[in-house]
Structure 1
Amino acid sequence: ECSSGVTGAIAQPVVSLGIDDIIIRVDAEPLPGNEPQNCQGNDSVQMTVSLHEPIGDRALVDAACLKGPAVRTSFCETGATRWSP
């Protein structure tokens, strides 16, 4: 959520390989301390996720847009699918 323009450490991706889709979640660790933060946005952080099998005909889905606080953000307003065949 809001972090005064600072991106926390990036956690290891969590990947769920399904029959019709591949759901990927990558979280940023919360910032230390309890100081109030503003919502000016953060820098994007590129992440490479290696899969141990081909994508094939499956969609790539952003898990953050399926449930939780990100669902109501503008980033998720077009849905959770980031790529589909």
Structure 2
Amino acid sequence: PQGLRVLEPGDWAGRAMAMAPHVTIGRDPNSTLPIADNYLSHQHARIVERDGEYLLEDLGSTNGTYLNGKRMTAPAPLRRGDRVQAGNLVVEVT
């Protein structure tokens, strides 16, 4: 994976970012993707680089993190074309 492209919510749609060794998603204003969304936890999910691959991990969020439509129960590797949903945020791995 090279990066992430935001598909939803509308005011973020189309924004792209390069993949980084540590990406955080949540309502926390210090998150890499700080989204004001009542369905997101303060620290909802993260993407970390480990052994040359990027892993998506839910951080014990209330509403869960979904990878390609399935609620995550354990960290999972990301591939190009994957879709990640957390609250109303939907991103595509590029």
> Do they fold alike, i.e. is TM over 0.5?
no
Bigger helix fraction:
1
> Radius of gyration: which is bigger?
1
Structure with the higher strand share, 1 or 2:
2
* TM-score normalised to structure 1 length: 0.27
